[in-house]
Amino acid sequence: MRTGENTIPSRLCSVFSSKANNTSTAPAMSAAYDRAVELRALDSTFSGVRGLVASGVTHVPRIFRLPDHQQQPPHEPIHHSSQETAAAPSSKYVPVIDIGARDRASVVAAVGRAAAEWGFFQVTGHGVPLESMATAVDAVRGFHQAGGSEGSDKARLYSREPARAVKYHCNFDLYQSRVGVTRSTSAWRPIRHTPATCRKPAGDLSG
């Protein structure tokens, strides 16, 4: 049975505030560290990292940190000479590409350049009104920042089933990855099954 968010803070604090989670004592307390318990505790919030923050934890849980022996020392900053800058990004700003431009060849070239130099870029000229995008972002942000109490949209949709089209979860590979990340994901297809607060904004985006 799913447990309401208002009943889990004390239990979470007892799991995540142990000495095994204190960075200063982690190496000495490694034998007392139970990763599976922490993973299940995170999952039980139905709110991901937001649920941990709401529970009042005071240390970054070890499931979000690499073991000391796997951490790499900080790298010295790399200073390129004038002969080494050819492959560097052409700008210090994230590329903005107008996909509505008439010159398709220039658009394709810009996308290729941004993908090679940055790995991502911002798209404009797509025809989606700014107001619709802002409304959708606000709706999704509101969903992710909401609590995961019993009966909430988060608790209702929380699932790790790969084939489920409408779901929400924290760290899709939580039980497989070496270290967790502060990432929550929601997938809502078809739109009619999305949370009520997000249904209209999502529909407006899809046209």
139-175 per-position pLDDT tens digit: 888 888 887 777 788 888 888 888 888 888 888 888 8
* pLDDT the model gives residue 110: 94
99 neighbors 125 (Cβ within 8 angstroms):
yes
| Spatial distance between the Cα atoms of 125 and 97, rounded to a whole number of angstroms | 8
Span 171-201, pLDDT tens digits: 888 888 888 877 788 877 766 777 777 877 7
d(CA 185, CA 183): 7
Q: What is the pLDDT of residues 15-46, one digit of tens each?
A: 665 544 554 444 444 556 788 888 888 888 88
List, in sequence order, the alpha helices (H) in 7-47: 9-16, 35-44
β-strand partners of 158:
168
